[in-house]
């Protein structure tokens, strides 16, 4: 029987010179088999019900949450937690049925928009509930909705963001718990870069709902994606590393820059989380090798990659070597893999997005103009018309002497994050 996941590798350059330092970009793709049975969900919905959620926002949350509960499969479990100054657990690992619908209706109906945004308390509560029900036969996932900045119990904006990121990262690394974040409303009222960083820490998606009517569709679309999970708690390991690691990206279906790996004895691992049916994930690894003068033509092993996943109470794995040819042939050294080169360009686009956010935060209009020019050239080359249009709006705002809005940055981020195609 074939393995449930296919492992593919490719290099931007299959040849390197016989001496000196040389950068090689390695593509690693994990693709789940198409005939796999989806895993039941252990889903947590974490809902911001602070004072700013009053009115249409809270009504939309009630409606979108109810729709997800109705769409659950019989084996799925759902936990619903609302947070403001405190946490209210409305459902605890319940299955779909008349009883859960009644309990959800009662709990959601009693919600009031009040208090502050005690996000850390909410995260602790939902993770604690999900931990009781997690296992290798389920996909554990959190969907977080918020419209404001995280606050301290006293109501001040909490500037210590690392504690939130560390909390989400811990659950991903130790238990494979993924996290998607959804920002609701004008991005000027919440930190969209923070929500994106949270989603990256949880290897999930970051979604932006500019208006309340968009919430139901975004909630439903993301739930449907999560519901297609066929493998959980997947991990990618690099072994026998023959060089130094410069950078590691997830590049498909969307982009995430991992913290720089710190190999020990030529080995490091990163959590991947869940894989969805028909949805490969791809990663780019930049490796620098250093050869002394006088090396001979031939083939060396640059590294080996290994993917692991739990199945039937045991850990299964699949591995493949990555080989690099040494030559002084100029024609061979000039060859490039267009697929890997394009994906590396996508990563450069994401790096420029980060530089743009930093430039806007600095208030330096000259710096903003410079980054916008470079990023617009790149988005045009990649054929990203929506992203280019947003950048042009930013340029027009600067020309009018206006500041670049947080809404424009959020839209630019949403247009930059996905990778259009693999290849």
pLDDT tens-digit readout, 142-185: 999 999 899 888 888 888 999 999 999 999 999 889 999 999 98
Higher-confidence residue of 189 and 361: namely 361
User: Mean pLDDT across the chain, nearest whole number?
Assistant: 93
Indicate the range of 254-268, 346-360, 407-421 predicted with least confidence.
407-421
What are the φ/ψ torsions at residue 278 (nearest 5 degrees)?
A: 70, 15
Q: Of 309, 283, 361, which Cα lies nearest the Cα of 36?
A: 309
Predicted pLDDT of residue 422: 54
For the cut 90, the answer to whether the pLDDT of residue 101 exceeds it is no
CA distance 181 to 200: 9
Confidence band, pLDDT 50/70/90 cuts, at residue 96: confident
CB 365 within 8 A of CB 398: yes
Token digits of residue 226: 């999560």
In total, the chain counts a number of residues equal to 423
The label of the residue with tokens 């210590």 reads 160
Confidence band, pLDDT 50/70/90 cuts, at residue 344: very high
Peptide bond into 391 cis (omega under 30): no
Per DSSP (E only), the strands in 255-353 are 256-257, 268-276, 281-291, 298-311, 314-326
Predicted pLDDT of residue 186: 85
CB 227 within 8 A of CB 259: no
The label of the residue with tokens 């769409």 reads 71
Strand order in the sheet with 206-209: 87-94, 77-83, 41-48, 139-146, 178-184, 206-209
Confidence band, pLDDT 50/70/90 cuts, at residue 238: very high
Q: Of 320, 290, 295, which Cα lies nearest the Cα of 305?
A: 320
CB 299 within 8 A of CB 321: no
pTM reported for the whole predicted model = 0.92
Between the alpha carbon of residue 394 and those of residues 32, 168, 305, 316, 384, the distances in Å are: 40, 33, 42, 49, 16
Confidence band, pLDDT 50/70/90 cuts, at residue 187: confident
């Amino acid at each position: 029987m074939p393995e449930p996941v296919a492992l593919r590798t490719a290099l931007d350059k299959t040849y390197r010179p016989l001496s000196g330092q040389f950068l090689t970009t390695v593509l690693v793709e994990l693709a789940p088999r198409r005939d796999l049975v989806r895993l039941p969900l252990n889903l947590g919905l974490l809902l911001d019900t602070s004072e700013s959620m009053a009115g249409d926002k809270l009504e939309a949350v009630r409606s979108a949450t109810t729709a997800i509960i109705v769409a659950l499969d019989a084996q799925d479990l759902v936990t619903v937690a609302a947070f403001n100054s405190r946490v209210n657990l409305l459902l605890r690992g319940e299955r779909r049925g008349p009883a859960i619908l009644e309990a959800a209706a009662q709990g959601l109906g009693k919600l009031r928009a009040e208090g502050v945004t005690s996000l850390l308390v909410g995260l602790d509560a939902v993770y604690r509930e999900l931990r009781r029900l997690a296992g290798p036969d389920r996909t554990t996932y959190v969907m977080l909705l918020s419209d404001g900045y995280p606050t301290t119990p006293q109501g001040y904006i909490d500037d210590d963001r690392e504690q939130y990121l560390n909390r989400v990262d811990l659950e991903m690394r130790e238990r494979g718990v993924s996290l998607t974040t959804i920002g609701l409303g004008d991005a000027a009222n919440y930190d969209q870069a923070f929500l994106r960083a949270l989603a990256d820490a949880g290897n999930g998606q970051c979604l932006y709902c500019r208006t309340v009517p968009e919430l139901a569709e975004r909630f439903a679309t993301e739930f449907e994606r999560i519901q297609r999970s066929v493998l959980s708690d997947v991990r990618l390991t690099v072994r026998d590393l023959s060089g130094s690691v410069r950078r590691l990206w997830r590049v498909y279906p969307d982009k995430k820059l991992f913290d720089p790996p710190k190999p020990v004895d030529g080995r490091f691992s990163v959590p991947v989380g869940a894989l969805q049916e028909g949805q490969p994930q791809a990663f780019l690894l930049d490796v620098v090798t250093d050869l002394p003068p006088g090396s001979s033509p031939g083939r060396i092993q640059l590294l080996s990659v290994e993917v692991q996943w739990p199945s039937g109470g045991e850990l299964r794995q699949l591995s493949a070597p990555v080989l690099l040819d040494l030559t002084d042939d100029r024609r061979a050294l000039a060859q490039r893999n267009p697929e890997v080169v394009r994906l590396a360009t996508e990563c450069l686009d994401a790096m420029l997005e980060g530089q743009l956010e930093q430039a806007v935060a600095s208030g330096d209009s000259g710096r903003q103009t410079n980054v916008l020019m470079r990023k617009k050239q790149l988005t045009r080359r990649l054929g990203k018309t929506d992203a280019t249009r947003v950048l042009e709006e930013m340029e027009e705002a600067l020309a009018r002497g206006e500041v670049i809005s947080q809404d424009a940055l959020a839209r630019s981020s949403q247009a930059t994050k996905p990778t259009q195609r693999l290849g």
